[in-house]
Structure 1
């Protein structure tokens, strides 16, 4: 092992061809990203101890990952006792943490106290890029809309003939994308606030924070810390920091960011764009940022019909997502026709304002992905008369503003989940005349009860909307399972058998 001090040696680890051999690394958490990190480090000669608090006798994905790493020769330690502090008998140079691990987790606290650097897997991925010609990153964060935007962006990049993928919080670990044997031209990277918290070196080609609203306060400790983490998406950006004109907090994050010389601030707006903005003129998505005469002219990117894709209606937040994706694509040099073709090819992911059924003139919509108040409000404002299905795990979020703004659209509310009383109290304050049904059941039949109540409250022309404003883990494995349960219950109510299902490998609630 090199005699270079560890701190100096880590500074030199800036690409996958650097000397990682002999580095003593603790990989904290053996989820998909943790496994990818342990595997990549071990392959490069690092001494890896991989720890996870899961059951050491488990036969599921955790057990399979542990067995593979053990066969490869890594030191794998499973069980709660192995995450109560740094591994015994191992003098670590570095900790790679899974994004969900909070800064107050005992192992991470002990590492910090001992002066051991802690990186997230995104930081590791950035430092393992190719030494020559690495794929640039276009980075996306925000309280809501990340996955839709990163998927739209990937479609635009591919429509331009580029070898591109979406990675990060979207599902594919960014490390796998970076180390793919067939290198990508460019990578669209979705980043959660957790991932950004543990990242410091990333220098994206272009970046965006779509919006900022209270979320994950329980993890970050305060809204201010959450917003600070979101703002890190702009740090070191080379070409364009894209912000939401309708959300002044995102522009402030750009103003506060340390960026590279020549980087521009580019706004996206649902209204008429000014210079250095993309926006909407009549039914046209227009670019006044990446054209030569931006003070007097604009480039047509797409029409509103192109944005609709497979969705039956054009929700304002999805239009905003399309504009943000277009701004990032244009910052990378994608021509207008590829922006249009990418939007035409896009199809929404499951559980995002997805039509489930129409029964007796009532439309049933699954937006189970609305796991915080900001997302739920965007969903509610897409419809005129709503029977709202809400509740779950609020994660410390305040629902007063949500209820106050949505109140005029509410026909009735059906509440579920552990924190439903907080929503009930807000409804009593801001919508006292709206009928509210409390469903205390948490068993597998709870959603059937919810649907029966909602059907009795809805009138022809109404929308019954599952937009919980809360995470799902109090009753379901994830928001996908919650949406599936809603769709299945609606199908039973309509007499159509079981409802549709979708893969339930969701992140970022």
Structure 2
């Protein structure tokens, strides 16, 4: 870490709002740089007290509303809404409020690795993991960070000298929450994969949600635009430089698909006359149209960093998808059972439903203010039947009654630990040989489960208990 950057934080009185993973990481790094840090959270339990006991940090649990006196700066965890009392107090006092991502950017030294950044409603984690594999295949030392699980601030601190060997480049996943609290980040290249209604309850409107996503295109950043997504195109128009990707035939300046190949006509010496072959469609796993788009986005970011075409293809072949993303669990009685518990909004569910021909759909959960009519209308012809569960299953049932009245619907009102067994049993009863029973819930999982992984694991366990 540059000496000037070290002294810049010394004695600064910082309130870190939120004692979760990113909040604790921010508090640790700031304290190590001599800041006077107070970590606050409304929660207070034995496990959190143990996790939040950090050297050089004052911890205040059980009170997340009161701003510590004489605070100079607030660093908020991404989940905290701007309407939180502590953040409103800070804003009224004229204090700057930033997030852990913005803090990480400001902590970067002169030799810090560049960022290749990814946001979007769906596909973020898949793309950053594909990208990391491509970068590694080209011989670069990298890591997937941010919303993917590893706090950026810890990696930046290590990359600037506190860790062993520095990274060459970072593959950074950014959520709309993280971007809302960022103001000066300037990735080398960045993409908005797609924008569809999600987290409207947090941002207030689709426009505000999209505006947060668009902040990823900082001054000088190469914008990688999804030419097949209206919002991605609109946000990319504000960038100084851009390239595109499409599932169709690419024009000069874009990556796309030609027959069974992924090709690049943006980063060749002569994009008008030359195209570079990156990979075959069969290299994309799991194969689905939206995942081909993910592969093209990752390839564009890798190429922006100078990764050769053959390393893009090798990275795709090395990539292994995370669980709960179009994950085949079993085939029972010639019926496939697929877990896409990560499909927590209509846009993700639509992509999942489009990948299969005849579906028994398992759906329900917390819709976060999203409308499901267009989704149901788009997939009605593919539905053999539907099994509904969760708190807002009634809204999906109403949409089905309007747009797919002939599709059999089973409503499972149970919320106990055996509810998923009943859901899967009903889905198996509706399915016929050749069908796919697909868990693509549309909603968040917290009405019934600890998170979407717990929901997916419950589904997989129930499938494995089916006869045969």
Taking structure 2 as the reference length, the TM-score comes to 0.97
| Residue of structure 1 in register with 2:463 after alignment | 490
- Pairing 1:322-471 to 2, within 5 Å after superposition: 322-471=295-444
| Residue of structure 2 in register with 1:141 after alignment | 119
Instruction: Please tell me whether the aligned partners of residues 29 and 154 of structure 2 are also in contact (alpha carbons under 8 angstroms).
Output: no
Q: 1:441 to 1:44 in 2, by over 3 A?
A: same
Instruction: For residue 486 of structure 1, give the secondary structure of its aligned residue in structure 2.
Output: helix
Superposed displacement of residue 236, structure 1? 1.8
Instruction: Please tell me whether the aligned partners of residues 14 and 128 of structure 1 are also in contact (alpha carbons under 8 angstroms).
Output: no
| Residue of structure 2 in register with 1:6 after alignment | none
**Structure 1 outlier segments of 4+, above 6 Å:** none
Q: Give the Cα separation in 1 of the matches to 2:339 and 2:24.
A: 33
| Residue of structure 1 in register with 2:198 after alignment | 215
Superposed displacement of residue 256, structure 1? 2.6
Q: 1:110 to 1:242 in 2, by over 3 A?
A: same
Corresponding position: 1:254 with 2:240: no
Structure 2 unaligned segments of length 5 or more: list them.
none
Residue 17 of structure 2: which of 14, 22, 28 is its match?
Answer: 28
Q: Give the Cα separation in 1 of the matches to 2:3 and 2:301.
A: 25
Instruction: For residue 224 of structure 2, give the secondary structure of its aligned residue in structure 1.
Output: strand
Q: Give the Cα separation in 1 of the matches to 2:461 and 2:381.
A: 29
| Residue of structure 2 in register with 1:86 after alignment | 67
Q: Give the Cα separation in 2 of the matches to 1:223 and 1:474.
A: 24
| Residue of structure 2 in register with 1:98 after alignment | 77
Q: Give the Cα separation in 1 of the matches to 2:268 and 2:80.
A: 43
Q: 1:358 to 1:113 in 2, by over 3 A?
A: same
Superposed displacement of residue 84, structure 1? 1.7
Superposed displacement of residue 73, structure 1? 2.8
| Residue of structure 2 in register with 1:269 after alignment | 246
Q: Give the Cα separation in 2 of the matches to 1:331 and 1:66.
A: 39
Number of residue pairs the alignment of both structures matches = 462
Structure 1 unaligned segments of length 5 or more: list them.
1-12, 496-509
1:11-56 CA-to-partner distances (Å, cap 9, x unmatched) read xx9984352101000000011110010011111111111001112x
Residue 39 of structure 1: which of 21, 28, 50 is its match?
Answer: 28
Instruction: Please tell me whether the aligned partners of residues 7 and 33 of structure 2 are also in contact (alpha carbons under 8 angstroms).
Output: no
Instruction: Please tell me whether the aligned partners of residues 85 and 108 of structure 1 are also in contact (alpha carbons under 8 angstroms).
Output: no
Q: Give the Cα separation in 1 of the matches to 2:442 and 2:151.
A: 27
1:408-440 CA-to-partner distances (Å, cap 9, x unmatched) read 101100000000000000001110110101000
| Residue of structure 2 in register with 1:63 after alignment | 49
| Residue of structure 2 in register with 1:171 after alignment | 149
| Residue of structure 1 in register with 2:262 after alignment | 285
- Pairing 1:177-326 to 2, within 5 Å after superposition: 177-180=155-158, 181=163, 182-238=165-221, 240-257=222-239, 259=240, 264-308=241-285, 311=286, 314-326=287-299
Q: Give the Cα separation in 1 of the matches to 2:122 and 2:206.
A: 15
Q: Give the Cα separation in 2 of the matches to 1:307 and 1:357.
A: 21
Instruction: For residue 85 of structure 1, give the secondary structure of its aligned residue in structure 2.
Output: coil
1:372-425 CA-to-partner distances (Å, cap 9, x unmatched) read 000000000000000000000001011011001011101100000000000000
Instruction: For residue 414 of structure 1, give the secondary structure of its aligned residue in structure 2.
Output: strand
Q: 1:183 to 1:18 in 2, by over 3 A?
A: farther
Q: Give the Cα separation in 2 of the matches to 1:377 and 1:477.
A: 24
Q: Give the Cα separation in 1 of the matches to 2:52 and 2:302.
A: 39
Instruction: Please tell me whether the aligned partners of residues 412 and 422 of structure 2 are also in contact (alpha carbons under 8 angstroms).
Output: yes
Instruction: For residue 102 of structure 2, give the secondary structure of its aligned residue in structure 1.
Output: helix
Taking structure 1 as the reference length, the TM-score comes to 0.89
Instruction: Please tell me whether the aligned partners of residues 200 and 369 of structure 2 are also in contact (alpha carbons under 8 angstroms).
Output: yes
Alignment root-mean-square deviation, CA? 1.3
| Residue of structure 2 in register with 1:481 after alignment | 454
Instruction: For residue 467 of structure 1, give the secondary structure of its aligned residue in structure 2.
Output: strand
Superposed displacement of residue 66, structure 1? 1.8
Superposed displacement of residue 235, structure 1? 2.2
1:351-384 CA-to-partner distances (Å, cap 9, x unmatched) read 0000010000000000000000000000000000
Q: Give the Cα separation in 2 of the matches to 1:16 and 1:348.
A: 38
Q: Give the Cα separation in 2 of the matches to 1:466 and 1:447.
A: 11
Q: Give the Cα separation in 2 of the matches to 1:365 and 1:431.
A: 22
Superposed displacement of residue 243, structure 1? 0.8
Instruction: For residue 179 of structure 1, give the secondary structure of its aligned residue in structure 2.
Output: helix
